[in-house]
Chains A and B, each alone.
Chain A
Amino acid sequence: MVMVKRGDSTPEFKVTPDKYLPHRYAGASGDFNPIHIDPELAKQVGLPGNILHGLWTMAQVAVANTQLAAGDPRALKRLSVQFRGVGLPEREITVTGTVKQADGNRVVIDTVATQGENAIIRNAEAELELS
């Protein structure tokens, strides 16, 4: 079992979505909202360009936090996030976390996803059961 204690940092995770990632995620998820895939339309509604799907970014937070359990999908018991700001393709995203509670094999992590100066997912909490 991985030993973690309150206050520990979890492994940092970095990912850069390529230009066409929102198109692939649209196909995989079924969410074809044009703000994610049409840069012109996105600009017309006041966005800087087509934006990442919040649930794709949340999936990166899930993947990042599951690293603590070597990627075992059974380990992730709960993930709660708030979406803030907008994520953009072709810019690096960093997911970081700090252990908030460690009780036996149950671990709660405060986690955040940032892109440059912008916290695009904040007040997020991941609960893992480590084996």
Chain B
Amino acid sequence: MTVKTEAVGKKWPEATYEVGLEKIREYANAIGVANPVHQDREEATAAGFRDVVAPPMFCVVYSARAMGPAILDPEVGMNFAAMVHGGQEFIWGEPVCSGDTITTSASCTEIYEKDGKGFYVFESVSTNQDGAETVRATWTNIVRGV
């Protein structure tokens, strides 16, 4: 059996996410990051940020809304029971602060088979309200026994 590759090149609709202060704090607490610029407005502005700044990995929170439909798309056709998150890359740009509105678009860049496994590669690009890129991500999911 071979993987179906019709979804390569497919783009999904943009999704926007409004970044809230308490969500940044909640996320920062869950990952245990200590720098007060992720909690306190005065600390953040004193360090040169526009407002309380999100930890870089907060990108998973604001990207999720755009990535969900891509991962779940039947045209991609991943078998979720046999799927694992195989790899991940983030390239960061402009920091994301409380009050930002982030727009993310997702696309499927590659689907291929190797050693009996299906590799499904997606790219997402996120920009803020000024059009500055905040993160560019590559998401690799692996499906066993394709």
Give the complex CA separation of A11 and B97 in angstroms.
Answer: 28
Task: Identify the stretch in A68-76, A96-104, A109-117 within 8 Å (CB) of chain B at 4 or more residues.
Answer: A68-76
Contact B87 A29 (CB under 8 A): no
Contact B27 A82 (CB under 8 A): no
Give the complex CA separation of A71 and B81 in angstroms.
Answer: 38
Contact A58 B35 (CB under 8 A): no
> A108 near B: Cβ within 8 Å?
no
Give the complex CA separation of A80 and B53 in angstroms.
Answer: 22
- Least distance between A94 CB and chain B CB atoms (Å): 15
Chain A interface mostly: helix
- Least distance between B11 CB and chain A CB atoms (Å): 22
> A4 near B: Cβ within 8 Å?
no
Q: How many residues of A contact B (CB 8 A)?
A: 31
Give the complex CA separation of A45 and B82 in angstroms.
Answer: 10
Task: Identify the stretch in B57-65, B98-106, B107-115 within 8 Å (CB) of chain A at 4 or more residues.
Answer: B57-65
> Which residue of B56, B57, B86 contacts A82 across the interface (Cβ within 8 Å)?
B86
Also in contact, A82 and B87, with CB within 8 A (given A30-B61, A30-B64)? yes
Q: Which residues of chain A come closer than 8 Å to B90, judged between CB atoms? A: 78-80
B residues 35-54 touching A (CB-CB < 8 Å): 35, 37-38, 47, 53-54
> B91 near A: Cβ within 8 Å?
yes
Q: Which residues of chain A come closer than 8 Å to B91, judged between CB atoms? A: 77-78
Also in contact, A80 and B89, with CB within 8 A (given A25-B31, A29-B60, A60-B31)? yes
Which B residues are within 8 Å of any A CB, using their own CB?
Answer: 23, 26-27, 29-35, 37-38, 47, 53-57, 60-61, 64, 81, 84-92, 95, 138
